[in-house]
Chains A and B, each alone.
Chain A
Amino acid sequence: DTEVTQTPKHLVMGMTNKKSLKCEQHMGHRAMYWYKQKAKKPPELMFVYSYEKLSINESVPSRFSPECPNSSLLNLHLHALQPEDSALYLCASSQDPPGSSTDTQYFGPGTRLTVL
């Protein structure tokens, strides 16, 4: 089973709202990722958590705030977003952190975010 779940599937928010995206995996994976994907573009890495610690932050604006409450859960807190932040937000997990021999990433279904 290589299932990663994400909620909600769709989210519409205003620029002054605060919302959160949730990602969950029960495969015992030790690394989890957030990606942003704009239309007709490849996914862009935002954050990497390895062993529940933030290991990579790809210079993402502070209006995006990741959180890893435990080894199975990953949240992305959103605040004061801009319309250009509208995109598909993808969560992924891998058995081990990037660079290991077991770093195959499995993606969740994504959250389609629209910022008005």
Chain B
Amino acid sequence: QKEVEQNSGPLSVPEGAIASLNCTYSDRGSQSFFWYRQYSGKSPELIMSIYSNGDKEDGRFTAQLNKASQYVSLLIRDSQPSDSATYLCAVSESGGGADGLTFGKGTHLIIQP
């Protein structure tokens, strides 16, 4: 059974600070890793994808992947109230027989003005 674990929160961070979101996964065959942001009542919106070990930066967002530790994280710098949302970690395995994304339960992030 493939599992993706996230702390459900809520995670409360002051405006302007760094928000750190973490995710672990159980399937060592996982190849692709994604962070989605979901506002209440809306659909998931892709924030970052990462495929190889290390850091990947896009604006205020940095994704970090460590396949040996089966750990992926998302850092949000200069947090804004508009970043308040649920962040879903999703993992996809590689190769034939892959069945799409496995989602974590999501971390509810609150940015306090």
A110 at the interface (CB under 8 A from B): yes
Task: Verify A98–B103 contact, CB threshold 8 A.
Answer: no
- Proximity string of chain A (88-103) to chain B, C-beta cutoff 8 Å, 1 when within and 0 when not: 1010000001110101
- Proximity string of chain A (40-67) to chain B, C-beta cutoff 8 Å, 1 when within and 0 when not: 0111010010000000101000000000
Nearest neighbor of A43 in chain B, beta-carbon distance: B103
Which of B11-19, B61-69, B88-96 lies on the face that meets chain A? B88-96
Please measure, in the bound complex, the distance between the C-alpha atom of A66 and the C-alpha atom of B41, giving whole angstroms. Answer: 24
Q: How large is the interface on B (under 10, 10 to 19, 20 to 34, 35 or more residues)?
A: 20 to 34
Task: Verify B43–A98 contact, CB threshold 8 A.
Answer: no
Nearest neighbor of A4 in chain B, beta-carbon distance: B43
Give chain A nearest CB distance to B98 CB in angstroms. Answer: 3
Q: Could you tell me which B residues sit within 8 Å of A by CB distance? A: 31-32, 34, 36, 41-46, 49, 51, 88, 92-101, 103-106
